Copies of this chain bind each other. A is one copy, B any other.
């Protein structure tokens, strides 16, 4: 009789921070120099789908296939996740002899993203969250999302926040073993469900002409970084949690924009300087400023991760004023077709008014944006029966 192929599948979301993670106090454990906070985005639009499986019949080494390509799993980060999850499984097996010894079997993991990998969206957060959640399901671990966030953090720092839906914080913690550096849910998606996000994906040609050096260079060389980590972010974490609790978009938006600017300011203060914002990014900022000026209050908020793509948060009730304007300006770009995009009418009137203030910026956006993605706040990882590995242990392409 052939050995059993054990399988479990999940999907996990992307998250986009509104208080940024930048700087590690422990690079090995991915322990951050400051807390952070993100919005989990809907998996209908952006998700990683992962099947974890194990079997005594598998070749002896663990393997991972992402989007059809074999990945190296020998890296310390992936190994840390495998090791921690196996240890949790082994503790259960040690207490119950009737259980199959899954912790001793080789792992085979297959993963697929439903978004263009070329888009420059940080897919590692969804990837490691899905990997950890799928293996936890496979091992039938009773672990909470908090406990799993501690493990996912070791794969990719911001992955810990993708273990929860809605509005999610990551407490920096103080323990040297990282045991208290975990994610927590500030509020579920249902608390403030009308949060939308428009992502302006910048053309590859418009990307960084400068350094691609990382966050540890900032920690080592930026003279402004210390005050960001020690003073600015702790204050903003409180302001942001309050804004979310009170569903106060103006406060949410202002802190979001200021924190994005602060993060990129410390990148620029790095030596040599790190630039993620380009002229397209600046144009997106200008257009958001114009939208807010026209509205007389903050109804749109930009944020930028480590790249030129703008993520613009807004509330559903302001869709015409925000996404509608961008549809009028960028309607010919990919991404407007589908359930979310069809519902948005191009707002030519708002665009005409915006041109008075921001015609150069609007031209620059047209030139520099390659596609758009429409999404909104969403749920955490979702168990699925759709397997990417068949009964014989072979990868399936969906």
The chain A residues found within 8 Å of chain B, CB to CB, are: 209-211, 221-224, 226-228, 231-232, 235, 254, 257-258, 261-262, 264-266, 268-273, 275, 277-279, 282-283, 285-286, 289, 358, 360-361, 364
* Cβ-defined contact, B286 with A282, below 8 A: no
Does more than half of chain A's interface fall in helix, strand or loop, or is it mixed?
A: helix
* Cβ-defined contact, A269 with B261, below 8 A: yes
Number of copies: 2
Closest to A223 in B: B232
Chain B residue contacts of A264, Cβ below 8 A: 268
Pull 26 A–B residue pairs with CB atoms less than 8 Å apart, ordered by A: A209-B286, A209-B358, A209-B361, A210-B286, A211-B289, A223-B227, A223-B231, A223-B232, A223-B258, A224-B224, A224-B227, A226-B227, A227-B227, A254-B271, A257-B271, A257-B272, A261-B270, A261-B271, A261-B273, A262-B269, A265-B265, A265-B268, A265-B269, A272-B289, A273-B285, A275-B282
Q: Which 8 pairs, one residue from A and one from B, show the smallest C-beta to C-beta distance?
A: A265-B269, A265-B265, A227-B227, A223-B232, A224-B224, A265-B268, A279-B279, A209-B361
Chain B residue contacts of A273, Cβ below 8 A: 261, 285
Chain B residue contacts of A270, Cβ below 8 A: 261
14 other A-B residue contacts (CB within 8 Å) besides A210-B285, A223-B231, A224-B265: A209-B358, A210-B286, A211-B289, A223-B227, A223-B228, A223-B258, A223-B262, A227-B227, A254-B271, A261-B271, A264-B268, A268-B268, A272-B285, A275-B282
Closest to A365 in B: B209
A261 to B232 Cα, complex, angstroms: 20
CB of A363 to closest CB in B, whole Å: 9
Closest to A261 in B: B273
Closest to A302 in B: B273
Chain B residue contacts of A262, Cβ below 8 A: 223-224, 269
The residue in A228, A258, A279, A364 that gathers the most chain B C-beta atoms within 10 A of its C-beta is A279
A231 to B273 Cα, complex, angstroms: 20
Closest to A275 in B: B282
CB of A316 to closest CB in B, whole Å: 25
CB of A211 to closest CB in B, whole Å: 7
A380 to B258 Cα, complex, angstroms: 42
Chain B residue contacts of A261, Cβ below 8 A: 268-271, 273
Chain B residue contacts of A222, Cβ below 8 A: 265
Closest to A266 in B: B265
* Cβ-defined contact, B364 with A209, below 8 A: yes
CB of A296 to closest CB in B, whole Å: 15
A289 to B273 Cα, complex, angstroms: 10
CB of A205 to closest CB in B, whole Å: 8
CB of A269 to closest CB in B, whole Å: 4
A10 to B84 Cα, complex, angstroms: 76
CB of A252 to closest CB in B, whole Å: 14
* Cβ-defined contact, B282 with A278, below 8 A: yes
Partner of A224, one of B221, B232, B271: B232
Chain B residue contacts of A257, Cβ below 8 A: 271-272
A257 to B210 Cα, complex, angstroms: 14
Chain B residue contacts of A275, Cβ below 8 A: 282, 285
Chain B residue contacts of A209, Cβ below 8 A: 279, 282-283, 286, 358, 360-361, 364
Chain B residue contacts of A265, Cβ below 8 A: 222, 224, 265-266, 268-269
A223 to B266 Cα, complex, angstroms: 11
Chain B residue contacts of A268, Cβ below 8 A: 261, 264-265, 268, 277
